[in-house]
């Protein structure tokens, strides 16, 4: 089995919507990211939060911090994809994801007034 076997359920945003969301997300949370590159494309990174963004490292499981709302966006940094997913779809993904899959992902809502971050080395953060 490979990474493709463990995709999150939900609707994957089109390339055009992906670009709009990533641009907005980058503007809200991250510095320019000039020194961050992956496959030749500038990428947001959890180590490049803007100075005025409050970032707190938290312990526990992601489900303990995820509000039970109806819709979220999940940005998989290295996959270059954003999925619109429900609370249940996100919880199911984390319950079934094998530990050998490492990724940086960000969970947020349309308002982008908070963001849960899970890094490839299992650091969990909330950014506001």
Question: Do the strands 105-108 and 72-76 form a parallel or antiparallel pair, or are they unpaired?
Answer: antiparallel
* pLDDT given at position 12: 93
Q: 90-107: per-residue pLDDT in tens?
A: 888 888 888 777 788 889
Query: How many angstroms separate the CA atoms of 59 and 113, rounded?
Result: 21
Question: Is residue 1's pLDDT more than 50?
Answer: no
* pLDDT given at position 11: 92
Q: Is 83 exposed, middle or buried (0-12, 13-18, 19+ CB in 10 A)?
A: buried
Q: 77-92: per-residue pLDDT in tens?
A: 878 899 999 988 988 8
* pLDDT given at position 44: 45
Query: How many angstroms separate the CA atoms of 82 and 22, rounded?
Result: 9
- Asked if 83 contacts 90 with a C-beta cutoff of 8 angstroms, the reply is no
CA torsion, ordered 37, 42, 47, 50, to nearest 10 deg: 150
**Predicted confidence band at 74 (pLDDT cuts at 50, 70, 90)?**
very high
pTM reported for the whole predicted model: 0.81
């Amino acid at each position: 089995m490979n990474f493709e076997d463990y995709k999150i359920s939900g609707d994957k945003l089109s390339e055009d919507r992906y670009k709009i969301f990533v641009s907005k997300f980058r503007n809200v949370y991250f510095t320019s990211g000039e020194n961050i590159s992956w496959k030749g494309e500038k990428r947001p990174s959890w180590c490049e939060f803007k100075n005025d963004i409050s970032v707190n490292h938290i312990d526990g499981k992601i489900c303990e911090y995820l509000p039970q709302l109806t819709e979220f966006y999940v940005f998989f940094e290295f996959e270059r994809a954003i999925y619109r997913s429900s609370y249940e779809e996100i919880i199911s993904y984390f319950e079934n994801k094998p530990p050998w899959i490492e990724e940086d992902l960000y969970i947020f809502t349309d308002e982008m007034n908070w963001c849960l971050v899970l890094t490839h080395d299992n650091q969990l953060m909330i950014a506001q």
